Copies of this chain bind each other. A is one copy, B any other.
Amino acid sequence: MAIPAIQLSLSGERFQVLYTIAGDKQEALEKAEAICVEQTVEFPQDLLPPGSLRDEILGRIEAFHPVDRDHYQAWVSYAVDIAGSELPQLLNVIFGNTSIKPGIRVERLELPQCLLDAFKGPRFGRSGLRQFLKVYDRPLLCTALKPMGLGPKDLAHLAYQFALGGIDIIKDDHGIADQSFSRFKERIQLCAASVEKANRETGLGCIYVANIMAPFDQIMDRAKYAKAEGAKGLLIPPGLVGFDLMRCLAEDDNLALPIIYHPAFQGSFVTSKEQGISPYVLMGQLCRLAGADCSIFPNYGGRFSITREECQAIVEGSEVPMGHIKPIFPTPGGGMLADLKPEFRQMYGTDVIYLIGGGMFRIGPDLVSNCRIWLEQVGGIRS
C-alpha cells in the first residue's frame, strides 16, 4: 500500500465550521463530504488506509440540515491538531481550497478553548479601549484623514481640527500610504503632534491611528516608528498584508497599541451570500482572533450594498462568547451622513464606533463645529 496505515496520538479535541452550501439535498451532502476531504487529507478517500487518517485527520460532518429548498448547512469538525497553533494554517483548514469551489460559504466558527488558548485576541477590546480613551458611556466617534493627495501638513491640520472638535479616534485613510507627495514619516510626526497639541488645549484624549501598511519587510519598522512618534493605534488591512501580521502587532507587548481592522481587498469574501465568508465570521470572529480591537465595515444605507442583517451579524460576531477573546467594537462607516439616523442608534446601541469620513465635511464650513455637532448626537463631549 502506497500510504501506510498510521495511528496518531492526537488531542481528541475538534473545532467546528458551519458551511452554507448551495444545492439540493444530495448535491449539498456531496459537497459537504468533499469539504471534509479537501480541507484535510486532500487525497482520494478510497485510497486512504484505515486508522487515524480516516478516523481523525479527515473532516467529519457533525450536523446537516436544510436552510431552504436550495441551501443546506453542514457543521464540519476538524482535529485541532491539524491547525496547530498557527493562524494561517487555521484559516487554511477553515477555507483554503474550498474557497475555490462556488456555492460554499463559511457561516460560523466554534473553536474550543484549547485552540483559543493559542491566541491572545484583542489587547484592549471594548472595555480596554474605553479605558484607553477614557470615554465610558456613549458611542465613540472616528474619522479619517483624507483625501489622498494632501501632504503631511494639510493632513495634520485636518487632524488638529478633528481633535479640537472632540473626535475620539482620528485614523489615516487606508489609501494614505508612503507616497512621494505625502511621506509616511513626516505624516506620522505631524499628525501625532497635532492631535497632541489639540488634546492639551481641550483636555481630551483623542488618539491618532496610523496606517502602517507597507512592504512585508518594512511593516514592523513602520509600526515601531508610529509608536515612537506618538501614534496611539494602528490601522491594518489583513487583505493586503495578511491576518497573521495583525495578530503579531496586537500581541506585541512593546507596541501595546489598539488595532483597527480595515476590510480593503477582502470584499470578495462578503459580496455574495452564496460563497465566501460571512461578515459574522470575517469581520467578527476572525478579526477578534487576529487581535483587532475595532472592526471597520460598510454600514447599510451608505454607498456599499451591505444589508442591515449583515451589519447586525457583524455586531453579533464582535461579541459572541469566545473564551478569553474579548468583544470588540463594530465600526460602521462608508457613507455615514451628517446626521445619525435613529435606526442606527437603536441597532448599534452604545458599544459602537461611528466612522464618519466625507460626511464630516457636509454639515457646514467649519470642521471643528461639525465634529461638535456629531459629538452632540452621540451624547456630548463630557461622558
A residues sitting closer than 8 Å to B (CB atoms) are 1-4, 6, 8-10, 34, 38-44, 47-48, 52-53, 56-57, 81-82, 84, 86-89, 91-93, 95-102, 144, 146-151, 154, 158, 173-175, 177-181, 213-217, 237, 239-245, 247-248, 263-272, 275-277, 298, 303-306, 334, 357-358, 361-362, 365, 367
**Of the candidates B39, B245, B365, which one forms a contact with A2 in the assembled complex, judged by CB atoms under 8 Å apart?**
B365
**Of the candidates B149, B267, B269, B305, which one forms a contact with A41 in the assembled complex, judged by CB atoms under 8 Å apart?**
B149
Given that A6-B150, A180-B84, A270-B100 are known contacts, is A264 also in contact with B175, CB under 8 Å in the complex?
no
Given that A92-B237, A148-B41 are known contacts, is A298 also in contact with B100, CB under 8 Å in the complex?
yes
CA distance A180 to B56 in the complex (A): 14
How many copies of this chain? 2
Q: List, in ascending order, chain B residues with CB within 8 A of A9's CB.
A: 181
Give the shortest distance, in Å, between A311 (CB) and chain B (any CB). 13
Q: Closest residue of chain B to A179, judged by CB?
A: B84
Given that A47-B361, A84-B179, A271-B275 are known contacts, is A96 also in contact with B245, CB under 8 Å in the complex?
no
* In contact, B89 and A42 (Cβ under 8 angstroms): no
* In contact, A42 and B101 (Cβ under 8 angstroms): no
28 examples of A-B residue contacts, CB within 8 angstroms: A4-B150, A6-B150, A8-B181, A42-B144, A42-B146, A42-B357, A43-B146, A86-B213, A88-B213, A88-B215, A91-B240, A92-B237, A92-B265, A95-B265, A96-B175, A96-B237, A96-B240, A98-B267, A99-B239, A99-B268, A100-B267, A100-B306, A101-B305, A102-B272, A216-B242, A217-B248, A240-B242, A268-B277
CA distance A244 to B179 in the complex (A): 17
Q: List, in ascending order, chain B residues with CB within 8 A of A276's CB.
A: 268, 271
Q: List, in ascending order, chain B residues with CB within 8 A of A102's CB.
A: 271-272, 305
Those 8 A-B pairs whose CB atoms lie nearest each other, nearest first: A99-B267, A100-B267, A41-B147, A96-B264, A242-B242, A57-B149, A43-B147, A102-B271
Q: List, in ascending order, chain B residues with CB within 8 A of A91's CB.
A: 240, 265
Q: Closest residue of chain B to A8, judged by CB?
A: B181
